Chain A
């Protein structure tokens, strides 16, 4: 249990997918104009990451590896299968959001289907493979990474709502400011980097 908590905390705060690895920037910059839509997208990312990680883990372990059912090394299919899983999960989220919150669906627009190509999600799955996580760790990493992404996009959205009233120089308005803010937020997030929760678990 402690190991999973460790992975979760690390993924959410210490090695934040967004502010430490700068993954998933496109939707982060584009959908952070209001807190409400940011929260919606954040939850969608938590859900997709949390679901695709274990599925991809099972695929990687039981279909693609040499020890799997086909008995041969199919790891060259990894990317295409991972993306297929992610795309189908995103479709699921899209249908649910459209059914239950049409206003959020309209606000997210094209960025909801674009979660498919959100690099944070594929990146998460690939980190999982390269770090050789167990199934439990993969779930913890997916949920933690999603929570970290959620926190970052909500914070950026709140800041952008606040600076809407500031006299920002004209060339910096909009995306320029978002880039600048991302950098400054990354600086602030460095505060937690270097903490190793593992030493307190034994």
Chain B
């Protein structure tokens, strides 16, 4: 460690001469060492658990999704081509194939995003705000494996500049940066991120291969249509086509528990989101009409038992990593319950009865990001009124 420290001191660039290099240096230095700067004025929170350590925990929590994502990409690729069709076969080549898919996505996301971040940091003359580390790690997990990299780069530029730097940088953004990236691709290049063809890597043009996600099947034919193709256990363990990191439910739950245990993410949001989704799911079940052969797909989707809704799509991933983003979520405890519940219910409504979108969580979270300050405002207002009344009663 000491040698490393000396090395860092030796290569430290001059702050006056090259501010950009110094910003970059400072960013990497504080990654490895706790800085010994002393705050000079004002009130500050003095805690070793600073922004950087906090973000590393989130990155650790999603590592399982990365490894599984790589395997899953490879598995579906080879299975579609008729090689290594069993789960246990050819783990090496599958992982390698997945790695070759994920790595470029990750590198482009990080290079573009961090490049912008470094540029703004040196321009504004403050240290690098590592907010992008987490967003940049999340972005590959919510993309399809074959997304053209220039689209990804463009989307990251849009999200980081207009979604974050325009608001003043890390901690100030209103909308979740990772979701803003995805929503940009989603509305600008919809054919590359939705439909049945994009979820299995490297099989474009191969006959007889369909990579319809369980949700796409359920929207047409309900739960029966899903179980004809995928078994419930496949969906639970994650051996289904989908965005890179969203499929494996146990690993996401592990990550979520880790985040709750380290107190990085709010359990209130997670629980209320599950409650909201379950509530709307049951409501839909209750209102679903009798299923006959010529019932419209949407009613069959409504009739899918509510607990199976959690098996499909990206509900858990959105709950664990997206909705709990402490910057864009509600800040008050009461607000978090409302925020989570509304995401759960609106997301479910979009998923089931909005034919325009296959999945609802991305847009539901963005919608509630917009309303989170409003929720906070009214919660705080309510608190103020209650306390004023209490003060009156005492006086």
Hey, which bits of chain A sit against chain B, CB under 8 A? 35, 154-155, 158-159, 161-163, 166-169, 172, 177, 180-181, 184-185, 187-196, 199-200
For the complex, what is the distance from the CA of A154 to the CA of B168, rounded to whole Å?
22
A39 to chain B, nearest CB (A): 10
For the complex, what is the distance from the CA of A190 to the CA of B366, rounded to whole Å?
10
Chain A-chain B contacts (Cβ-Cβ < 8 Å), number: 94
CB contact under 8 A between A184 and B298, given known A166-B172, A191-B360, A191-B363: no
CB contact under 8 A between A163 and B357, given known A181-B174, A188-B367, A190-B187: no
Chain B residues with a Cβ closer than 8 Å to the other chain, count: 37
- Picked from B162, B168, B172, the residue with its CB within 8 Å of the CB of A184 is B162
Name the prevailing secondary structure of the A interface residues.
helix
Q: Which residues of A contact B354 (CB under 8 A)?
A: 191-192, 194-195
B353 within 8 A of A: yes
Task: Establish whether residues A191 and B357, one from each chain, have CB atoms under 8 Å apart when the complex forms.
Answer: yes
B376 within 8 A of A: yes
Task: Establish whether residues B175 and A158, one from each chain, have CB atoms under 8 Å apart when the complex forms.
Answer: no
CB contact under 8 A between A195 and B353, given known A168-B166, A177-B166, A184-B175: yes
Most central of A159, A180, A185 by chain B CB within 10 Å: A159
Most central of B124, B354, B364 by chain A CB within 10 Å: B354
Hey, which bits of chain B sit against chain A, CB under 8 A? 124, 162-163, 165-169, 172, 174-175, 180, 183, 187, 287, 296, 298, 346, 349-350, 353-357, 360, 363-364, 366-367, 369-371, 373-374, 376-377
Most central of A154, A187, A196 by chain B CB within 10 Å: A187
Q: Which residues of B contact A180 (CB under 8 A)?
A: 162, 166
CB contact under 8 A between A187 and B355, given known A155-B374, A158-B373, A163-B172: no
Q: Which residues of A contact B377 (CB under 8 A)?
A: 35, 158, 161
B189 to chain A, nearest CB (A): 15
Residue of B nearest to A163 (CB): B167
